[in-house]
């Protein structure tokens, strides 16, 4: 967590919160105050909306401005209420009636949900750097930010790097999707076509979105995707194609159910359905979407059966506490490979991962982009 935000949360102050109306389903923003008691955050106002939908936005607006995704727990147990109100009275040196507070005052504990926000890096294999340079730098015009004898790093956005490392082994195709503005989708399509790359599926219609699928020089399946519900003014478009962020990296696996549970339980990501069919699901952390198809399922677009790919994915998070939770879980299962001050490395189901501390990516961006499961 950003130290300015951490400092602002250490002392109670006036904030705004945005809840979801329990009847209307519409967002409602109100002003109130919170209290910090031993590092735990509490609201002492009646917020009926939070009982119906405990996910909300916590808006700091005094010493620092930040919009933080949060969860509410309405405290009803009398003993717990008495203990908390007693300590709040003592902390504020108030002469408030303890029993009146216990019996009649609302009490809500707040948890700030700072978890995975984005893909920070994707590392793929290549047989030759010249093909990578031709496709990604010369034709798609991504800037090269680092280059060595056996590797090259491409900047997709200021927050995400695509890295290729030379390895003399078969290339297994990876599916990755770049989010662009809905208003500039056709322009991005024209640029891909003018680059002379193989377009496999043109203007795929998703109802509220559309995609173009094409191949790079080594068979990887690239996708330009745009959704009409994502605002254009939150993340600036980057480089020649106008990419807002790296939206998708696919993870074909043998057992979708098991991998989905691991992503949810270990990395605290969210899936679209708890009982999704066992041949496909989407699992999400902020702007990072992980399509999880079964190896026995034909890929979309129809390019044959899915295959497990040689890739290393680095997720970004602005919260060190979240990193520590993940590290402890991985250490307990034996999946933790290495630990550094700003990054941990681990593996699961044949894939290599990292989780990196990235405070420069604002935690509130996924919610501001109106992304599913961001609240």
Is a pLDDT exceeding 90 seen at residue 363? no
Q: Are strands 144-148 and 209-215 parallel, antiparallel or unpaired?
A: unpaired
Domain range annotation of the chain: 3-112, 118-368
> Please, how many CA atoms are within 13 Å of residue 87, restricted to the half-sphere of its CB?
13
Predicted local confidence at residue 32, as pLDDT: 92
Is a pLDDT exceeding 90 seen at residue 374? no
Q: What is the dihedral of CA 226, 29, 22, 71, to 10 degrees?
A: 80
CA distances to 8, 25, 110, 222, 292 from 212, in Å = 44, 33, 41, 8, 20
Q: b vs e for 162-194, b when ≥16 Cβ sit within 10 Å of the residue's Cβ?
A: bbbbeeeeeebbbbbbbbbbbebbeebbebbee
Predicted local confidence at residue 277, as pLDDT: 64
Predicted local confidence at residue 303, as pLDDT: 60
Predicted local confidence at residue 188, as pLDDT: 97
Tokens of 34: 């919170």
Overall average pLDDT of the 111-126 stretch: 90
**What confidence tier does 96 reach under pLDDT thresholds 50, 70, 90?**
confident
Torsional sign, CA 356, 41, 375, 77: positive
Overall average pLDDT of the 112-137 stretch: 93
Predicted local confidence at residue 326, as pLDDT: 96
The tens digit of pLDDT for each residue in 55-73 reads 888 899 988 887 888 889 9
The Cα 270–Cα 281 span in angstroms is 11
pTM of the entire structure? 0.81
Q: Give the contacts of 67 (CB within 8 A, at least 6 positions apart).
A: 57, 58, 59, 60, 364, 367, 368
| C-alpha closest to that of 331 among 298, 355, 359, 312 | 355
Q: What is the CATH number of domain 118-368?
A: 3.10.180.10
Q: b vs e for 107-133, b when ≥16 Cβ sit within 10 Å of the residue's Cβ?
A: bbbbebbbbbbbbbbbbbbbbebeebb
The Cα 107–Cα 43 span in angstroms is 6
Asked if 270 and 285 count as a contact pair (C-beta separation under 8 A), the reply is: yes
> Please, how many CA atoms are within 13 Å of residue 367, restricted to the half-sphere of its CB?
20
Superfamily of domain 3-112: Electron Transport, Fmn-binding Protein; Chain A (2.30.110.10)
The Cα 268–Cα 285 span in angstroms is 8
CA distances to 10, 32, 39, 50 from 61, in Å = 14, 11, 19, 21
Tokens of 173: 């195709």
Is pLDDT larger for residue 196 or for residue 272? 196
The tens digit of pLDDT for each residue in 31-50 reads 999 999 988 999 988 678 88
Mean pLDDT over the full length of the chain: 90
């Amino acid at each position: 967590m950003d130290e300015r935000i951490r400092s602002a949360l250490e002392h109670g102050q006036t904030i705004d919160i945005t809840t979801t109306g329990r009847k209307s389903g519409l967002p409602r923003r109100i002003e109130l105050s919170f209290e910090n008691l031993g590092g735990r955050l509490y609201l002492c106002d009646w917020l009926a909306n939070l009982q119906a939908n405990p996910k909300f936005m916590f808006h700091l607006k005094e010493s620092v401005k930040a919009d933080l995704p949060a969860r509410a727990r309405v405290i009803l147990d009398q003993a717990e209420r008495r203990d908390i109100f007693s300590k709040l009275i003592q902390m504020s040196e108030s002469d408030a009636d303890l029993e009146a507070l216990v019996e009649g005052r609302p009490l809500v504990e707040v948890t700030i949900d700072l978890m995975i926000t984005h893909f920070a890096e994707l590392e793929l294999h290549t047989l030759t750097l010249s093909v990578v340079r031709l496709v990604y730098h010369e034709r798609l015009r991504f800037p090269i930010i680092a280059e060595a004898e056996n590797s090259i790093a491409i900047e997709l956005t200021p927050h995400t790097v695509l890295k290729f490392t030379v390895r003399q082994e078969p290339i297994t195709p990876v599916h990755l999707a770049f989010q662009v503005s809905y208003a500039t989708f056709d322009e991005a399509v024209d640029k891909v076509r003018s680059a002379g790359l193989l377009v496999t599926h043109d203007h795929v219609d998703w109802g509220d979105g559309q995609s173009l699928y094409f191949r790079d020089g080594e068979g990887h399946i690239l996708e330009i995707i745009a959704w009409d519900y994502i605002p254009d003014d939150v993340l600036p478009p980057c480089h020649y194609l106008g990419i807002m962020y790296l939206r998708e990296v696919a993870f074909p696996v043998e057992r979708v159910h098991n991998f989905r549970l691991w992503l949810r339980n270990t990395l605290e990501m969210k899936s679209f359905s708890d009982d999704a069919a066992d041949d496909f699901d989407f699992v999400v952390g902020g702007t990072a979407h992980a399509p999880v198809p079964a190896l026995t399922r034909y890929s979309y677009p129809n390019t044959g059966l899915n295959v497990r790919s040689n890739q290393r994915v680095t997720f970004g998070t602005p919260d060190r506490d979240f990193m520590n939770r993940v590290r402890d879980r991985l250490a307990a299962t034996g999946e933790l490979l290495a630990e550094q001050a700003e990054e941990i490395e681990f593996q699961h189901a044949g894939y290599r991962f990292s989780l990196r501390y990235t405070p420069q990516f604002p935690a509130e961006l996924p919610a501001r982009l109106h992304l599913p499961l961001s609240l």
